Amino acid sequence: MVLGLSACGQQETPVGLNETAAQTQQASQMQEREDEAKVEANSEAEIEAKIEALLAGMTLRDKIGQMLFVSYRIWKEAPKEVEGNVTVENAAEEVPAGNVTALNDEIRAALRENHFGGTVLFAENYQDAEQTLRLIADIQETSVAGGGLPLLVATDQEGGNVARIGFGTPGVGNMALAATGNPDNARQMAYIYGEELSLLGVNTDFAPVLDVNNNPRNPVIGVRSFSDDPAKVSSFGLAYLSGLHEAGTIATLKHFPGHGNTDTDSHTGFPCIQSSYEELQKTELVPFQQAIDAGADMIMTAHIQYPQIETGTYTSIATGEQVYLPATMSRTILTDILREDMGFEGVIVSDALDMAAISENFETEDILTLTFNSGVNMLILTIVTNADLFQKTQDMVDMAVQLAEDGTIDAARIDDSVRRILTLKQKYGLLDQTDFGVTEEQVKAATSGVGSDANRETVWDIARQAVTVVQNKEQAFPLQFAAGQSALILFADSCASRVGTGEQVKELLQEQGYVPEGAEITVLVNSAENEEDCVQAADKADHVILVYRTYGKANLDPNTGDGFSSAVFDRIIEERHAAGKQALLISCQLPYDAARFPEADAILLAYNSSVMREIPPATGAGSAYIPNLPAALCACFGYGEVKGQLPVELPQLDESYQFTEQILYERGEAALK
């Protein structure tokens, strides 16, 4: 056969040979896929068999233990008797509490005997990297030595003002991440959290928050939410989820089915949302559904009443009135909606059961029964802060076992939950982990990696991207700070604990050359006693930056103790305008106070801040701090480019300082882009 040449001088392959080669390649690829499918099927069958064998070998108490998260936060002993009937000098005197940074005998015995599924660590448990490594290793070793399984070790490392690890990288918080307009910042931030948690031995993060903050009166979510727009929450939430997964960390979506549209904190009250299922599907459930579709492993419930969805009621032990069963206790919400309608196959964990919404309204026996039977797979029990609460937790375990033994708690629910828990642990390699010894290499990696200079530099960069200017009259921002001039940074009473930030920024600006020759920056805090001093200082200064912190709606009302500084700020702005001068305002927490000071010449939003009463140690040492407010203050002096965009709508206030339906600043708004 003579083969022809193509126009490029290459031999052409007859069509028949092309088809044969393609068919052979296709057949080979099909065989490879079939072989991979068989291996995967065999692997899945092996895992399923392993899990069933573990389940079959468990006692009822073992199974109940797997369904429980315990938290030993603070330990305080009750006064003890000495020498017969003689007690300590004052039996009523409280024994000083100590943070649980190492296991005591009582906690060790509880871990050995109950085979808990998980533990939750709080700020009190974290002292430094090495101590944390050894504490977690001891928890795991104690559980396994007692015949249990490795635990899910969880913490709330959301970022911003909910970051438990004081020596780690705190991040900027979710709303600030959304203000950058770049979801990859959320992915990068979450990866840092996951990486640092892994270095310490923490395998589960109770994040991301997927609540849509569509109620500006919300006292507990606020800047913990990415936005009031479900699409934006979804975009940044999925990026955050991806970052944690890249770091090998179990992520936890919260608070299902949504805590954003409340005006009550479930830690202290019992919120109620009057939304229908159809309304939730259009807003609150959108981010959850997208994250479920993306492979989320764990979801945390909300202690919130939804009377348009769950109509079951309970007689409150506090008031004697009928309350609706919250989502945590609702089979309709957790089984019918989350499992069946939304297709979630992972682990459902309750929010802490000692929060007021639950503990003040329900009997302990009913808390356990209703929560287990609603479809919750893991319960966060009473958070231990003293020996009495430790005993209460032990009693709750015993009660749960008894309720399961007499059939009050559905046995099928228990087995289903434990299968899901074991499947999750297997997926993240926990069931195969046997050695929890701490090596010098681990200590070195944790001490150098957690809160590293590189991570903090990344967060500083993100914080600067997040700063948002929503108003800038006559180019008041940035300040034209000239030689010999004076600038006043005045903190409202509501953010007095942040005053160290002003001093820190003052030093930083001097180091970076942003303080001209002979210029001076003064930092003051307004209090109930020094109004005149603050006004006079503002009158004398060439430039004034007012820093306000709103953490609740009372901060907006000058007639309240929480809001009296707002009246002082009003006066300062008015008097400076009368003198032909300008005033800048920085909102350093909830952005809704931007609507409180519309007369300010420039308004900046930082979306978060942290306590800093004095200048912290140098970067890489000591406690971490949230960089949002320092970034905003630096920007006022021209240090840093401002490109943030508003991630929520800011409603106008009426004459009584209440939110109206009128939107003053639209989502996406920015005076500088």
* Residue 265 to residue 290: CA distance in whole angstroms: 26
Q: Tell me how far apart the 2 most distant CA atoms of the chain are, in Å.
A: 113
Strands 650-653 and 659-665 turn out to be antiparallel
The helix or strand, by DSSP H or E, that contains position 380, with its residue range, turns out to be: strand 379-384
Check if the beta carbon of residue 508 is closer than 8 Å to that of residue 489: no
* Residue 107 to residue 118: CA distance in whole angstroms: 14
65: helix, coil or strand?
helix
Residue 614 Cα distances to 162, 507, 522, 525, angstroms: 21, 12, 15, 13
For residue 640, the one-letter residue type is: G
- Give backbone dihedrals phi and psi of 164, rounded to 5 degrees, phi first: -75, -25
129: helix, coil or strand?
helix
For residue 404, the one-letter residue type is: A
Given the residues 267, 336, 415, 542, select the one marked as catalytic: 267
Give the angle 226-212-231 at the CA atoms, nearest 5°: 75
Query: 35 an active-site residue?
Result: no
Check if the beta carbon of residue 566 is closer than 8 Å to that of residue 547: no
Residue 123 Cα distances to 128, 162, 269, angstroms: 11, 10, 23
Query: 351 an active-site residue?
Result: yes
Q: Give DSSP secondary structure letters for 557-617.
A: -TTSTTTHHHHHHHHHHHHHHHTT---EEEE-S-GGGGGT-TTSSEEEE-------SSPPP
Nearest to 168 by CA among 212, 202, 138: 202
* Residue 515 to residue 527: CA distance in whole angstroms: 27
Q: Give DSSP secondary structure letters for 87-105.
A: B-S-TTSPPPPEE-SS--H
- Give backbone dihedrals phi and psi of 221, rounded to 5 degrees, phi first: -95, -70
Check if the beta carbon of residue 307 is closer than 8 Å to that of residue 330: no
Residue 220: count of CB within 10 angstroms of its CB: 19
Nearest to 193 by CA among 242, 135, 131, 128: 242
Given the residues 351, 354, 493, 562, select the one marked as catalytic: 351
Check if the beta carbon of residue 500 is closer than 8 Å to that of residue 525: no
Q: How far from the centroid of its chain's Cα atoms is residue 312's Cα?
A: 30
Check if the beta carbon of residue 96 is closer than 8 Å to that of residue 102: no
* Residue 323 to residue 657: CA distance in whole angstroms: 31
The helix or strand, by DSSP H or E, that contains position 537, with its residue range, turns out to be: helix 531-540
For residue 398, the one-letter residue type is: D
Q: Which residues are catalytic?
A: 267, 351
